[in-house]
Chain A
Amino acid sequence: MRILLAEDDFVTRKFMMNFLSKYGDCDVTVDGMEAVDAFLLAHEEGEPYDLVCLDIMMPVMDGYQALIGIRNIEKEREIPKDKAVKVIMATALNEEKNVKTAFDLGCTIYSGKPINQDRFEQALKKLGLID
């Protein structure tokens, strides 16, 4: 599985990379804009990501904007809903409003930080991303 991680904080990035690498090849970006670029690039190269993991608080573009960008690219490329990439928002922001906004924008999993790794894995299974 191809995974894209966008995370601006070094320590968290290192942790998340370690964690996600268990499930597949993990590319890393440090802000939302880069993430959208990487997402588009992967599509153009014909090797789209299966999972995108976004922080919310990031420089240049926040996670919400990146998510919109990603969903718009999919719309433009006429990718059907069931083929759309699974997007995980992993963030310390944990107010109901934050969660609601994310789901309204088309996020698949919203995971509070610190990440509950068992649940995270369980959710990936449920989505059929891992066995």
Chain B
Amino acid sequence: MSFKRDDMLDTYLLETSQILEELQTVVLKYKDEPAFPEDAVDEIFRHMHTMKGSAGFMMFEQLNALAHKTEDVFFYIREHKPEGVNQKDLVALVLKVSDFIQGELDRLSEGEVADTDSGALIEELDEFLKHISKDDAEDERKASSGASTQIYIAPKDTKASHYFQIYITYTRDTKLANVHAYKVVHALKGVAEEIKYSPSTILSDEKSSDEILDQGFKILLKSHSPKKKIDEIVSAGYETRSISIIEIDASRFKAGFKLFGVDAPIAAKQTEVATEYVPGDFVVHADAPGGGKVLAKDSAAAKSKSNHVNIEVSQMDKLSDLIMKLVSAEKKLSDDKTAEKVKKLTGDIQDIVMNMRLVPMTNIFLRMNRIIFEASRKMDKDIECSIIGDEVRADRGIVEHIADPLMHMVRNSADHGIEPSSVREAAGKPAKGKITLKAEIKNGELLVSVSDDGAGLNREKILNKAKEKGLTDKNRKDSDYTDEEVWKFITLPGFSTNANITEFSGRGVGMDVVVTSIEQIGGTLDITSKAGKGSTMTMRFPL
């Protein structure tokens, strides 16, 4: 069974996930500061306010309440500017809220309901609020009730509609074929969302009987029921000679009886023009029975979207211009000169389309920043994250693909690379560790790297481990191995040198998985490392 996701739900999901992204950006930007600056507090407050509103509108009560409470916290901070708020706790709390909402969004997009109890998290927020406001007099924010003034209720049934073309012929001697035809219509009414039939005068005009015997009886049906069900209903013997039931698409249904029986598939769906509806568009004109409802303005074709992509308008414009040119050139393809032109235009179109597939590294880097923040909290290390070249754009496929390997490398750096503050200070390094994420395009390659200023890889330890695992060549001395060769060992399956397995990295599956994943899309991994100074892992992808 196919499902048509509700249009409003789609919009809600898209908008809310965009807000969550912005929310994370602003929160992570100030995670290392002593406090959020005023404009950031404002922004977070606004995001919460918007999410509260839209959740209320969709009647997602748990999300509505959660956003409401978070909004309260930031309302208090904005109005009272309390001192001594633990920034790290606040950041962690907001990220928790953001995760909770994201979790519900995921559930919703799986077709589930968003009713996970947010009570515990709300309580946590309440505790935090009480904590930061304990010195101030009780100053309950005037409960601007979370109720929205406008509410949207999704239809109960989200099953997709099916469209059918039904053609029935009757044997020559059938009496009152029009009545037989009407019986079919009547039987179908129970499952019909919309039904049109021809001839449409079966009840009012007895002559329609002859027309039916001559030309057959045609029905167009829109229904939630699958073809099997329609087959059952229609086949139940009404003195028919032949019955044909074909599932068609929505545009064909809309086209009415003009295209009835036309086998060629309807040409590609028309791009929908984004006009707004105006009152009066949906006036139903009285029509002969069976003609179906005819609207003052026929409503736009059914569409089902599942994947939203934001595309720059200028690029879309360029693309449609090019296609227009291509189409007109195509008509005159007879001579070589135009053939040449078409070739060029096609090339240009390809470039544009390739460009549309490009996305910046920003989001994925931001996610890594988040991972570093959490790792540093959990492991009690002080780590800052520096991002270079997040505006570099790469193919959507590559960017999505490198998220996992990148995450693993970042975790490795946070876990094994960066030393605890005390060790760092003893070694004369700044207490705060640093992980740098960098993307650049160089010599036709995309380079994405993770560097840390930690302890660096331990050559001796790796070599010993490699020997233990029988990975080395017995005829070579340790000193024969170049650093690069040594580092290569850690990318082999089952290689892990750290005795301490932590939540964040290192279970012996790791770098080999990373490398395999990178190689899958034609990339390679370079490792450089210097004892005491840190390591850099660079992924290279040809463009």
- Where the two chains meet, the residues of A that have a C-beta atom closer than 8 Å to any C-beta of B are 8, 32, 56-65, 67-68, 92-101, 103, 105, 107-117, 119-120, 122-123, 126-127
User: When the two chains form their complex, are residues A8 and B59 in contact, meaning their CB atoms are under 8 A apart?
Assistant: no
Q: Which residues of A contact B300 (CB under 8 A)?
A: 95, 97
11 A-B interface contacts by CB (under 8 A): A32-B283, A58-B282, A58-B283, A64-B277, A94-B154, A94-B155, A99-B152, A100-B276, A108-B150, A110-B152, A114-B155
Are B11 and A96 in contact (CB-based, < 8 A)?
A: yes
**Which residue in chain B gives the minimum CB-CB distance to A113?**
B155
A99 and B7: CB pair below 8 A?
Answer: yes
* Residue in contact with A123 in the complex, picked from B151, B282, B283, CB distance below 8 Å: B151
Q: How far is the CA of A72 from the CA of B494 in the complex (A)?
A: 75
Contacts of A108 in B (CB 8 A): 149-151
CA distance A69 to B59 in the complex (A): 28
Verify if B288 is at the interface (C-beta below 8 Å from A): no
Residues from chain B with a CB closer than 8 A to the CB of A59 are: 283-286
* Residue among B149, B157, B193, B282 having the largest count of chain A Cβ atoms under 10 Å: B282
Residues in A with CB closer than 8 Å to B299 are 93, 95
Of all chain A residues, the one with the shortest Cβ separation from B303 is: A95
Shortest distance between the CB of B360 and any CB in chain A (Å): 27
Chain A: which residue is nearest B155 at the CB level? A112
Are A119 and B283 interface neighbours, CB within 8 A? no
Q: Apart from A65-B283, A109-B150, A127-B147, list 12 A-B contacts with CB within 8 A.
A: A59-B285, A62-B283, A62-B284, A94-B7, A94-B154, A100-B276, A101-B278, A105-B279, A108-B149, A119-B59, A123-B151, A123-B153
B59 touches A122 (CB 8 A): yes
- Pick the most buried of B11, B156, B300: most chain A CB atoms within 10 A of its CB: B156
Our pick among B59, B151, B152, B282 for the contact of A57 (Cβ within 8 Å) is B282
Once the chains bind, are A57 and B284 in contact (CB under 8 Å)?
Answer: yes
- The residue on B at minimum CB distance from A67 is B279
Instruction: Collect the chain A residues with CB atoms within 8 Å of residue B296's CB.
Output: 62
Residues of B within 8 A of A112 (CB): 6, 153-156
**Cα distance, A98 to B495, chains bound together (Å):** 59
Q: In the complex, A13 Cα to B154 Cα: how many Å? A: 20
Contact residues in A for B154 (Cβ distance below 8 Å): 94, 112, 116, 119
**Would you give the 0/1 interface string for B148-183, flagging 1 where the beta carbon is closer than 8 Å to chain A?**
011111111100000000000000000000000000
Is residue B8 contacting chain A, with contact meaning CB distance below 8 A? yes
Cα–Cα distance between A61 and B280 once the two chains are bound (Å): 7
Instruction: Say yes or no: is B293 at the interface (Cβ < 8 Å to chain A).
Output: yes
Q: Does B295 contact A (CB under 8 A)?
A: yes
Q: Could you tell me if A64 and B7 are in contact, using CB atoms closer than 8 angstroms? A: no
Q: Is the CB of B280 within 8 A of A62?
A: yes
CB nearest neighbor in B for A82? B149
B281 within 8 A of partner (CB): yes
Say yes or no: B156 contacts A115, CB within 8 Å: yes
| B153 contacts A110, C-beta separation under 8 Å | yes
Closest residue of chain B to A9 (Cβ to Cβ) is: B293
- A120 with B153, Cβ < 8 A, contacts A94-B8, A97-B277, A101-B276 known: yes
C-alpha spacing A50/B334, complex, angstroms: 71
Residues of chain A with a CB closer than 8 A to B277's CB: 64, 97-98, 101
Q: How far is the CB of A110 from chain B (nearest CB, A)?
A: 5
Chain A residue nearest to B283 in the complex (CB): A62
Q: Roughly how many angstroms separate A64 CA and B283 CA in the complex, as a whole number?
A: 9
A110 to B161, CA, bound (A): 21
CA gap between A122 and B293 in the complex, in Å: 32
User: Closest chain A residue to B4 by CB distance?
Assistant: A94
Going nearest first, the 7 A-B pairs with the smallest beta carbon separation are A112-B155, A64-B279, A62-B282, A111-B153, A116-B156, A96-B7, A65-B279
In whole angstroms, what is the CA distance A108 to B148 when docked?
Answer: 9
